[in-house]
Structure 1
């Protein structure tokens, strides 16, 4: 039996998939300490794990973001998380010394969990509650120009925070190893191989276990009339005008509507606007989804996975880059229709499209079958108990896969540049620029060829 430290950020979508896994680990006799936040205490303790509160180390702005009262840019959140790591250093040092964990399981964006594992050289398993992102799957993440500029401008500030962490024994030269997936770190992904984009490009250090769900509910869509469920999650749910448009769009349709509006919007301000609509701050989402015929969602990974697990097709309304990636994949699987705008007409037409076209429900059912046949919490627990996964031959292949393409691309351009400089001597012509044009045309095909060969 192992002693295991679990770390997570203060977000429902990152906590929820871990609870069935933790419960499975505890039931097997492992000792688990879950470093979480007071809001999740009851759920953590229900798994049998020991709850350790980290609220004292959260900044006020982090609490506001989690409550939905405020949003932050990626750079600002990165900086705040690095500062939180510094605040927690002494506390976590004492915890490691006293508990002596065999393995650390850290959320993929929980810097203090990852850095603790690295500092004390403790085997680590990364818990990835969205898709795993590498060079191939990162194509699903499309940043706006403003977001790219924010990342560029904020890099100096991030580097300053990394420099500050050196005094605590954390020696990270770049933020990238903390935020991106690699092929050497043991990683659990709560998606199936079929659902994960480019799953074949990840190493054997990855376990695609599928959704981790606490539920005995089964899909049961035999309603007297169609049930429409609307929720934008817990972080970006402060959109009362949008909910009012949804109510207006559906008030005269022969459907029942349930809206989960989050903790910021007062449900009483929306209830009574239409007889067929009921609004709540929170609901038992899995129970509602088991009966719902369509789900208008922000496409958080957790909500989207639960929707497909319950065979519920979706109207896709992503709010962030990560959510856009999840929505794109759901659309590719045929299980969702994208909401292009926020007008009453667009909302109405999108929902009715999914309700009236059976292809979306069929695709959602296919995804449900795939999800329910996955490894699930038991497979995730097996993977954690077996960590670290030592694969010297596999890791050598990974090095070749990562380094060789860059080397061959460098060779390509060296040859092209040499040819340009010697073009006149070889051909007697001054039109060396022809080589540059041809090289730029050929290069994309060359990259694809190298990727296949490697």
Structure 2
């Protein structure tokens, strides 16, 4: 038995797949402890996993909800700046608190989300192995790949290379403060300083929720990088009531802007109006940010709920309208459902760019979002067979990728061998 520690970010898109990994590890007889701020404790405990509180004074109950409410009003570069500043604050807490807590807890290995900067240095300082987990788009930089915060298409040319370099220069500038923070601790701990963004990631194994086919052509990933497909476990989802009896049997359009960028009421109004007259039924999930009764009356009388049982609804859906969060995107593809994406910020433009590249959906950038453009995109995806066919192709790929079971196989192999686990990519 191995004692695994998981210092996961608290955002739903990160903690939910980590809980899926934790549940599978625990099922196989391992001990699993999450290290979480108070607002996330109940979600971990509800899945039957251990949770050790951190950051109680800095992030008291309710503080995360306030931060998410603020982020939900932002988009584009301002939202990305806000996210980076928050990542730096959490990294400072992790570097300050986790070494002692993890040592006392007797943790043998860490699963480190790529967003949880600093946790990998804690593992090195404590001389315990760590595995990197990509719950968002993989952060690994390659100059032939557009930065994940852009909606740029894949362009393998000198012009594309130059464009990508400019994008990476911007993200390096914005993220320099937390690189300096991590290096300050590494210097105190007599660890080699980081020089490259790719230095943060494990040399033993790196796991991505993406299937390889939902990624631009990569040339320089480490041999220990594995595309496993999404990490899904029913225990990681809270039970949600939904009035299934109100479904009419018409082709179902499921719309969700996730749990963070979901406070822009005008987007929901645009979605509702764009679906009027399409002979479909629209279900809108507000992601917990708003209450249906507080919304103005939406055109077409869609079925609006605060939360939705997403996995169950996607089995019935003909189309997903999404912010292009990676989890919703992969769960739609898991069910062969094509999409219309309205990316807001962070890695969502990059997810949307890959969606367009694979032909499994259409993208309506926020700057071009209006009823006409959105309705035309919805009509194309519903009527043209290629979108559904490409979504079904990716569904088959995900089915073969292995998901949470394969990911945990790799994690166990790392711990048992103490050596890098190499992928079988050509």
Change (3 A) 1:139 1:292: same
The reply to whether residue 165 of structure 1 matches residue 185 of structure 2 is yes
The reply to whether residue 192 of structure 1 matches residue 211 of structure 2 is yes
1:400-426 C-alpha deviation (Å, 9 max, x unpaired): xxxxxxxxxxxxxxxxxxxxxxxxxxx
RMSD across aligned positions (CA) = 3.4
Change (3 A) 1:211 1:320: same
2:375 pairs with one of 348, 351, 354: 348
User: In the TM superposition, what is the alpha-carbon distance from 1:103 to its structure 2 partner?
Assistant: 0.9
Q: Secondary structure at the match of 2:347?
A: helix
In 2: Cα distance, 1:33 partner to 1:66 partner: 25
2:145 pairs with one of 127, 138, 158: 138
**Residue in 2 that maps onto 1:44:** 44
User: In the TM superposition, what is the alpha-carbon distance from 1:252 to its structure 2 partner?
Assistant: 2.7
User: In the TM superposition, what is the alpha-carbon distance from 1:80 to its structure 2 partner?
Assistant: 4.2
Change (3 A) 1:174 1:241: same
2:289 pairs with one of 264, 280, 283: 264
In 2: Cα distance, 1:228 partner to 1:148 partner: 36
- Considering only CA atoms, is the larger Rg found in Structure 1 or Structure 2? 1
Q: Secondary structure at the match of 1:33?
A: strand
In 2: Cα distance, 1:64 partner to 1:3 partner: 33
In 2: Cα distance, 1:391 partner to 1:136 partner: 28
**Residue in 2 that maps onto 1:111:** 117
Which stretch has the larger CA shift, 368-377 or 298-307? 368-377
What are the residue-to-residue correspondences of 1:186-265 with 2, within 5 Å?
186-199=205-218, 201-215=220-234, 224-265=249-290
The reply to whether residue 284 of structure 1 matches residue 309 of structure 2 is yes
Change (3 A) 1:353 1:4: same
**Residue in 2 that maps onto 1:303:** 328
User: In the TM superposition, what is the alpha-carbon distance from 1:243 to its structure 2 partner?
Assistant: 1.0
Change (3 A) 1:154 1:330: closer
User: In the TM superposition, what is the alpha-carbon distance from 1:374 to its structure 2 partner?
Assistant: 1.7
**Residue in 1 that maps onto 2:19:** 19
Q: TM-score, normalised by structure 1?
A: 0.75
User: In the TM superposition, what is the alpha-carbon distance from 1:165 to its structure 2 partner?
Assistant: 3.3
User: In the TM superposition, what is the alpha-carbon distance from 1:382 to its structure 2 partner?
Assistant: 1.2
1:382-413 C-alpha deviation (Å, 9 max, x unpaired): 11112256668989xxxxxxxxxxxxxxxxxx
In 1: Cα distance, 2:308 partner to 2:167 partner: 33
The reply to whether residue 371 of structure 1 matches residue 401 of structure 2 is no
Change (3 A) 1:83 1:255: closer
In 2: Cα distance, 1:46 partner to 1:373 partner: 30
What are the residue-to-residue correspondences of 1:37-76 with 2, within 5 Å?
37-56=37-56, 58-59=58-59, 63-67=65-69, 68-69=71-72, 71=74, 74=80
Change (3 A) 1:87 1:335: closer
What are the residue-to-residue correspondences of 1:299-338 with 2, within 5 Å?
299-338=324-363
User: In the TM superposition, what is the alpha-carbon distance from 1:153 to its structure 2 partner?
Assistant: 5.5
User: In the TM superposition, what is the alpha-carbon distance from 1:8 to its structure 2 partner?
Assistant: 0.9
Q: How many residues align?
A: 390
Q: Secondary structure at the match of 2:145?
A: helix
In 2: Cα distance, 1:156 partner to 1:202 partner: 23
User: In the TM superposition, what is the alpha-carbon distance from 1:77 to its structure 2 partner?
Assistant: 4.0
Q: TM-score, normalised by structure 2?
A: 0.80
Q: Secondary structure at the match of 2:206?
A: strand
In 2: Cα distance, 1:195 partner to 1:360 partner: 14
In 2: Cα distance, 1:14 partner to 1:386 partner: 23
User: In the TM superposition, what is the alpha-carbon distance from 1:99 to its structure 2 partner?
Assistant: 2.3
Q: Secondary structure at the match of 1:293?
A: strand
CA contact (8 A) 1:271 1:278 kept: no
Q: Which has the higher helix share?
A: 1
- Unaligned regions of 5+ residues in structure 2, if any? 152-162, 236-246
Q: Secondary structure at the match of 1:348?
A: helix
Change (3 A) 1:136 1:6: same
The reply to whether residue 96 of structure 1 matches residue 102 of structure 2 is yes
Which stretch has the larger CA shift, 384-393 or 108-117? 384-393
- Unaligned regions of 5+ residues in structure 1, if any? 217-221, 396-454
In 1: Cα distance, 2:295 partner to 2:85 partner: 37
User: In the TM superposition, what is the alpha-carbon distance from 1:352 to its structure 2 partner?
Assistant: 1.3
Q: Which has the higher contact order (CA 8 A, sep 6+)?
A: 2
**Residue in 1 that maps onto 2:129:** 123
User: In the TM superposition, what is the alpha-carbon distance from 1:359 to its structure 2 partner?
Assistant: 1.5
User: In the TM superposition, what is the alpha-carbon distance from 1:276 to its structure 2 partner?
Assistant: 4.1
Change (3 A) 1:172 1:284: farther
2:413 pairs with one of 353, 363, 386: 386
In 2: Cα distance, 1:210 partner to 1:393 partner: 17
